[in-house]
Amino acid sequence: MGTREKILDTAARLFSTRGYAATSLAQVARAAHVSKALVLWYFESKEHLFRAALQHFLTPYKIDAQVLLGLSEYQQIEKLIDDYYDFVAEHLPSVKFVLGQIVRGDETSAELVARVSALYEVYCNLLASILERGRERRVFPPGIKPAQDAALIMAALNGLLLQQFVEPEGSTVVRDLRAHLKQSVRAYLSGMPAHTEASVPSSASSPPCQATRRISETS
C-alpha cells in the first residue's frame, strides 16, 4: 500500500469512528505514522482529504445489470444475492466507512448518504422488476408482492452485511446463511403460500424501496 492510500485508509477509519469535526489532520498523521506536512502535501486541507477518502471508498459502488443477461428470473435473483455478498466480503473497509458516516449523520456525509440511498433504491427496484416480470410470465406465483418481497430480500442481505462484521475470521456462518437465504427465496418463489393482504401493514402502501430512501435522507 502506497503512502497516499495509507493516509486515505487511516483518515477513513478516523472519520467513520470519530466523525468529521472531531478528526484533525494531526490525528490522521499520527495514526498513519507520517508527518502532518506529508498529509498536506497529498491533500491541501481536511475537507480535501475527506472528499478524497469519500471518493476512494465510493468507487466500488456500482450496479451492472448487464451481468444478468441470459439468466432465468431465479438465476438473476440468486446472482444479485451472490454479488451483494461478494461485494461486502471484498470491500469490508469501504462498507465500514460508509456505514460509519451514515450512522454518525454528520452534515459532511449528506453526499454519501444520497449516493448510497440512490444505489440501494436501484438495487431494490432491480429485484422488484425481476419479481414482477417473473409473476407476469407465471414463473413465480401470482400472489407474490414484488416491491415488498424485494425489500424483504434487501433486509436479509443487510442482515448478512452486519453479520459479516461480527463473525470471526474464517467463519462459515455468513456463507451458510447466504446459501439458506437463496434456498428460502427459491422455495417461496416456487409456490409456497403467498402473502395475504392482512399480512402487509397499512404503512406499506408506498413502495418499500422509496420509503427506505426517505428514511435514510432524514436520518
pLDDT digits (tens, 9 = 90+) for 34-92: 999 999 999 989 888 888 887 776 666 666 777 888 899 999 999 989 988 887 777 77
Name the pLDDT band for 194 (thresholds 50, 70, 90). Answer: very low
In tens, the pLDDT along 121-159 reads 888 999 999 999 999 999 999 999 999 999 999 999 988
Most confident of 46-50, 97-101, 208-212: 46-50
Average confidence score pLDDT of the chain? 80
CATH 1.10.10.60 fits 3-57, yes or no: yes
Contacts of 166 (CB under 8 A, 6+ apart): none
Contacts of 129 (CB under 8 A, 6+ apart): 146
Residue 204 has pLDDT above 50, yes or no: no
Q: Concatenate the DSSP letters of all residues of 31-46 into one string.
A: HHTS-HHHHHHH-SSH
Domain ranges in the chain are 3-57, 61-218
Helix axes 146-166, 208-218, angle to 10 degrees: 50
Higher local confidence (pLDDT), 218 or 163? 163
Write down the pLDDT at residue 127.
93
The lowest-confidence range among 45-54, 156-165, 190-199 is: 190-199
Class of domain 61-218: mainly alpha
* Apex 216 CA angle, 195 and 56, nearest 5: 120
Residue 16 has pLDDT above 80, yes or no: no
